[in-house]
Amino acid sequence: MAKGMKIEEVNSLINDECVDVFKNIVECFPQVAKAICTQRPFRSAEHMADVAGKYLDQLPTEGKEEVLKLHPDLAGRLADEGKLTSESTKEQKSAGLDKLSAQEKIKMNQLNTSYREKFGFPFVICARENKVEAILQGLEARLKNTRDNELGTGINEVKKICRLRIDDLVTS
């Protein structure tokens, strides 16, 4: 993926190039890039992230569920097998999820399973804005929420992740 593009460069890409560069600003959901690349020109990386956020907010419930279901469990099987996207690998490492103690790993797996069983999609939190302890506390606290509340909270976390991923690719 390109890094440090100026917004003028983003705006001058042909549509297919734009989609290719930004295809994983939302985990494994290139539809966001397809939608927002047609909304150029962007004034800034922040403007681009706002457009992506509005797209996510306007998805029907099923679309929001699909977006959440594409996210991997934190410190889960895919991480153990080295099968995360490069972005997710970096994000989970930044939170310390690659260095869990045996006890933290057991607790994380149990909470992830409980969350997925209750809500039908994985727990999503912006790992780059959190560390292990906060993530475990967030999982426990959010398990008490309603499904509708978690759908909204999860999408808001996706928007934070998206914003940071755009910031990784576009210089201000």
pLDDT value of position 2: 58
Could you tell me if residue 31 is inside a domain?
A: no
Residue 165 near residue 25, CB atoms below 8 Å: yes
Active site residues: 71
Residue 148 sits in a domain whose CATH number is 1.10.3330.10
Could you tell me if residue 148 is inside a domain?
A: yes
Question: In this structure, which long-range contacts are made by residues 29-37, counting pairs with CB atoms below 8 Å and at least 24 apart in sequence?
Answer: 29/66, 29/67, 29/70, 32/56, 32/162, 37/13
pLDDT value of position 172: 72
131-171 per-position pLDDT tens digit: 999 999 999 999 999 999 999 999 999 999 999 999 999 99
The total number of structural domains in the chain stands at: 1
Could you tell me if residue 94 is inside a domain?
A: yes
Domain region containing 90: 72-155
Burial (Cβ within 10 Å: 0-12, 13-18, ≥19) of residue 96: middle
Could you tell me if residue 49 is inside a domain?
A: no
Could you tell me if residue 61 is inside a domain?
A: no
Could you tell me if residue 22 is inside a domain?
A: no
3-state helix/strand/coil string of 79-125: HHCCCCCHHHHHHHHHCCHHHCCHHHHHHHHHHHHHHHHHHCCCCCC
Could you tell me if residue 124 is inside a domain?
A: yes
List, run by run, the mean pLDDT of 10-residue segments along the chain (172 residues).
84 97 97 98 98 98 98 95 96 97 97 98 98 97 98 98 98 82
Could you tell me if residue 99 is inside a domain?
A: yes
Taken as a whole, the chain contains a residue count of: 172
